[in-house]
A and B are shown apart, each in its own frame.
Chain A
């Protein structure tokens, strides 16, 4: 019984022998891992280890040379990014990819793009208060308002995002990803550039997203405190190759991981 359950959970998201090269460089070399539904799975590694490249392969910005990405039992390797979005995989970026000349509200509404069914014609009859288009608009705005509340973004609602502080922009990007109503959320260094207090809030929010929205999270993060605090499992990679995978406590004390982060000499001392 237990074994069967485990099997089903393991079928949620798999990356199998993923490999991609750029020129002669193997940016990702035979990486495999399994993410259980509802868990937080983190990928750690030094700069340039290939973490973001893995994300880019998962959501279709890159096509891997070999290996497969399996999502809910379906092979999604090499699908276009917009198709992958429609399957319920959202992401954020290390360097923030927002629509900078739009307001927070408009950015979040674009996160709902795949859920909006209004065509040009029904949109043209928008002025009727009870039209289908008007009702839809109200529904989507309601969803977005809830995300704004969740992430405390009220103050930024009608401001152009390009001029907002870095930490706020990161949150808006997270909000936009949530607006897509994903089942799997890829977060690429969400805490980068945040101060201690913002990081603390972020940890709460990520846990909320996991617990209350039931969203599975795949996380790239440099801040070890954040990683150790919220991850269910951690994969450490270096030079595109997996070093080790396990629970946070095991990773923390793994000699290979320490070596990758600190270098040989420091260990020897």
Chain B
């Protein structure tokens, strides 16, 4: 058995491509619900055309599962995301396949979560850890 990559809209890059064949799904229900205009869909599409990824349309979970089955995969690798819809798709996939969520290189390394009440509090914690002194 093997691994496939689910590329979603928060991670249109080559980072995970070495791990297996990749698929991106344009889920029309999601696009319509979010109100993505032609500009937005076209921009995403052009980003995808530079990457070796199969572009599909349809219901996301269904298409990713079909893609995994076509490649005899029992594992899906994806980039972790705070987007509730992406998380929901990941959770649905997990009912059938093993799902590995990869965290991209952080902007700044912090031990623990900073105070996020206001940007100023976050910045007070972060500034000295960035190479801009």
| B and A form one assembly | no
Residues of A within 8 A of B (CB): none
